[in-house]
Amino acid sequence: MNSLGINKSKKETKVVVAMSGGVDSSVVAALMKQEGYDVTGITLKLYDDTKQSKEGRQCCAGQDILDAKRVSENINIDHKILFYQKKFKSEVIDSFIDSYAAGETPIPCVQCNQTVKFRDLFKYAKDLNADALITGHYVSRIQTNGHANMYKAKDQNRDQSYFLFSTTQEQLDFLRFPLGEIDKSETRAIAEKLKLNVATKPDSQDICFVPNGDYASVIKKFRPESFKPGKILDIDGNQIGDHEGIINYTIGQRKGIKIASNNPLYVVNIDADKNTIVVGNKDCLEVKQIKLRDLNILGSKKEFNEEINIKVRSTGRLLKAKVNLLENSADVEILDQETGISPGQACVFYSKDEIGDKVLGGGWIHKTFNKNLSTKLTT
């Protein structure tokens, strides 16, 4: 059994490494080569990057492809580029726009992992007769009794398990995450030691197809009708102002409302059908129940019989909750206090055991029930 848990010699084990051109995936490729595995690097061309961010801090852009190619040449591995722009447009960008136009707060990075990165790249790696698909994500994969489980990474500040909740069991069995047990600083140190050209390259920050974080410009390009003016209502349903398009607002937003008030006002609800924004005080943002759709469950459903932990935003804390699993949906009762939860975000399930925080899967937030807001005004 080799270090990847595969019953082959390293030399006979073929692995595909997803290379974004960043330091993490480059280090993973170099480590696999150093250990003696048969390595092929794959980089995805996902979108037209002719107007990329001035800072160049996005993934899968033109410069990133060149960086991945240079790393591959440096460590002497095969490198291939897959042109997935059409798939990415139809399955990630269009979904992002649809979600924003519906008054949601989408997470395109999860959609990307769920479709082109894991589903399509998974199939491509299988077609190459690879034994494993390796990525630079900070998440732990631990196998017990022949069953692969996903856990939060050792480096809690870099943990990416939230973005990988939609990984299927079949995919998880095939995937490996070598960086799950090390800190980011150690990854940088390895890159410098191996003299990789990306050792000091900044991490990607923006959504790759949203230059400089300007969501509105992307939606305006593809869906200009989303900028239709409408009413801003208070929590009693009275009109107190006007807006220039619901896509300019997200749940929990405070800035840019432009309505005079003695107390700070927050966006507490967005109704795309009625083209209205509802604003209220911070108490109206507290959410006690949420409905989920399109579930992905990892592990046994018996683990949901007790209280578990959930995460409702990538940078959020773990919250205690009770989850009632239905056909392909779930009702979630949040036992801790939490505000500003928005449809379109993901709710990820975790259970604590002797190893750490195990990922049980998750689903997409479809509806929220705010504690101090009339059900007539909730999404």
Which amino acids are annotated catalytic? 112, 208
Alpha helices in 289-375 (DSSP H): none
The three-point CA angle 1-13-139 to 5° equals: 75
Instruction: Tell me the three state secondary structure of residue 11.
Output: coil
Look at the alpha carbons of 205, 211, 217, 220 in this order and tell me if their dihedral is positive or negative. Answer: negative
- CA distances, 81 to each of 93, 108, 112, 200 (Å): 20, 21, 17, 23
Backbone angles phi, psi at 334, to 5 degrees: -90, 120
Strands 329-334 and 287-297: antiparallel
Look at the alpha carbons of 58, 61, 67, 68 in this order and tell me if their dihedral is positive or negative. Answer: positive
Alpha helices in the chain (DSSP H): 23-35, 62-75, 85-88, 94-101, 108-112, 121-127, 169-174, 184-193, 215-222
From edge to edge, which strands make up the β-sheet containing 239-243?
A: 239-243, 230-233, 276-280, 266-271
Calpha distance 250→124 (Å, rounded): 37
Tokens of 361: 């899967």
